[in-house]
């Protein structure tokens, strides 16, 4: 039966609702995993904030490019935490399945993985090979090493000739993220959210897959094979919904989750996100769960609130205010998105600076582009008002260990100032917010 507007977002104590409906009891899961520390590496290179800014630019670029009853199943997928910077899940593509580790990203709408032909290289310029010096604009692999670096090395690659369910499409695709580009061609195959040998895995036949033949150098340093976008495209087949905006998905293809809904794979068009925090020393450990088709009642508490989406390609809504105790109260209504692909909270520069001043005890690190503070610094919760309800972010969710062994008591303030200049949402509520409130 077709579903109708409104789209909305639910917030739980400790879930995104695509279309508000009653909830099913059966649950299927997809895990997330942790890897070696990227945070300390990026901070030493002065790139942690750059990564956050790139994430904001990715959202702004996509944002600006837009134009104005039968029992199914619920699935849960465990995700793994990459030192609280990336939550990575295992999916498989093809028949027999080929496995890939991807970021489950609510801020984009395409699934892509490296193709078996992905062997292009990044040119290392001469100024990147000066002895004892590495220009900040250079990839570390270029500095003093060989003249060319393959971004496809160490990645799992999709070999379409080994899949009997693969359908060649051949249409080229290109995605420009804030952190780099990806381009290649499109194919269609069976996609599974989970391990190829696992049970209760969400299986989605006839799903578009981007087969990357070239990737920007940023992806070389990331412990992922690709990205699985969970956002919308313009129109959703099988649903009585027409979106008044351009497609967020490159080439207008059906995103995997929307395809599952259109095929009737889920009992309800609902998914929830639970992210754990294991700390800076946790490596390759369970980091959370994506629940497809329902709510994670085991890890998420009662529903705290609901807010309608103001834009239906992103999970975009309105923030009515930001406050810090009695020292700061901003009642300015601004657009925000909830994004699992953004590792920090990114916000309006003027408000963030006022917030930092109100909290006190921080210093601005020009090289890293971050506010730093002692890890044992105590302060009151920061409050976000959404749809008339206050959501508090305690100190524990806003102070992140920098992972620097030379400064063990120095931490990162998890809110980064950024100006969208009207080309994107003023706020991106990334992983720290989702760790506090399931969505």
Q: Which residues are catalytic?
A: 105, 339
Q: Using CB atoms within 10 A of its CB, is residue 182 exposed (0-12), middle (13-18) or buried (19+)?
A: buried
Q: Residue 364 — φ and ψ, nearest 5°? A: -90, 125
Token digits of residue 403:
């992972």
Distance CA 54, CA 215 (A): 16
Distance CA 370, CA 267 (A): 43
DSSP 248: S
Q: Kindly give, in sequence order, each residue whose CB lies less than 8 Å from that of residue 340, ignoring residues fewer than 6 positions away.
A: 87, 103, 104, 105, 106, 107, 230, 273, 275, 430, 431, 434
Vertex 77 angle, CA 293 and 274, to 5°:
85
Q: How far is CA 79 from the centre of its chain?
A: 12
Q: How far is CA 258 from the centre of its chain?
A: 17
Q: Give the largest CA-CA distance in the chain.
A: 67
Closest CA to 191 of 77, 98, 115, 292: 98
Distance CA 337, CA 347 (A): 11
Instruction: List Cα–Cα distances, 51 to 1, 56, 234, 371, 427, in angstroms.
Output: 42, 9, 28, 15, 16
The DSSP string of 392-435 is: EE-HHHHEEE---TTSTTEEEESEEEE--TTSS-SEEE-HHHHH
Number of neighbouring beta carbons within 10 Å of residue 381: 18
- The answer to whether the CB of 226 falls within 8 A of the CB of 102 is yes
Token digits of residue 101:
């580790």
Q: Kindly give, in sequence order, each residue whose CB lies less than 8 Å from that of residue 271, ignoring residues fewer than 6 positions away.
A: 15, 16, 18, 230, 257, 290, 291, 292, 293
Token digits of residue 109:
């709408």
Q: Kindly give, in sequence order, each residue whose CB lies less than 8 Å from that of residue 40, ignoring residues fewer than 6 positions away.
A: 280, 402, 403, 404, 405
């Amino acid at each position: 039966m077709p579903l109708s507007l409104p789209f909305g977002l639910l917030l739980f104590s400790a879930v995104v609702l695509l279309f508000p409906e009653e909830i099913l009891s059966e649950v299927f899961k997809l895990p997330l995993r942790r890897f070696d520390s990227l945070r300390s590496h990026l901070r030493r290179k002065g790139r942690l904030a750059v990564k956050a800014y790139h994430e904001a630019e990715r959202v702004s670029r996509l944002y600006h490019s837009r134009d104005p009853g039968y029992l199914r199943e619920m699935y849960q997928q465990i995700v793994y935490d990459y030192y609280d910077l990336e939550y990575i899940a295992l999916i498989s593509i093809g028949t027999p399945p080929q496995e890939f580790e991807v970021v489950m990203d609510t801020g984009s709408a395409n699934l892509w993985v490296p193709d078996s032909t992905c062997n292009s290289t990044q040119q290392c310029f001469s100024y990147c090979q000066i002895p004892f010096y590495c220009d900040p604009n250079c990839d570390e692999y270029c500095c003093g090493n060989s003249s060319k670096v393959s971004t496809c090395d160490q990645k799992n690659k999709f070999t379409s000739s080994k899949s009997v369910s693969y359908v060649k499409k051949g249409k080229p695709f290109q995605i420009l993220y804030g952190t780099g580009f990806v381009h290649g061609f499109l194919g269609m195959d069976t996609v599974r959210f989970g391990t190829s040998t696992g049970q209760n895995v969400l299986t989605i036949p006839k799903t578009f897959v981007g087969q990357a033949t070239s990737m920007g150098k940023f992806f070389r340093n990331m412990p992922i094979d690709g990205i699985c976008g969970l956002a919308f495209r313009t129109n959703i087949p099988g649903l009585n919904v027409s979106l008044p905006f351009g497609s967020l998905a490159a080439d207008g293809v059906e995103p995997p989750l929307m395809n599952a809904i259109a095929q009737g794979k889920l009992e309800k068009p609902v998914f929830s996100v639970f992210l754990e925090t294991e700390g800076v020393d946790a490596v390759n450990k369970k980091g959370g769960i994506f629940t497809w088709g329902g709510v994670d009642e085991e890890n998420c508490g009662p529903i705290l609130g609901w807010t309608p989406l103001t834009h239906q390609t992103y999970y975009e809504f309105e923030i009515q205010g930001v406050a810090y105790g009695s020292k700061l109260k901003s009642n300015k209504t601004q657009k925000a998105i909830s994004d699992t692909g953004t590792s920090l909270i990114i916000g309006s520069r003027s408000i963030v600076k006022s917030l930092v001043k109100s909290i006190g005890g921080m210093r601005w690190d020009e090289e890293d582009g971050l506010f730093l503070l002692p890890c044992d610094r105590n302060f009151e919760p920061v409050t976000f008002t959404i749809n008339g309800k206050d959501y508090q972010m305690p100190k524990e969710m806003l102070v992140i260990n920098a992972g620097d062994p030379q400064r063990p008591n120095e931490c990162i303030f998890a809110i980064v100032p950024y100006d969208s200049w009207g080309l994107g949402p003023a706020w991106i509520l990334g992983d720290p917010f989702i760790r506090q409130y399931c969505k």
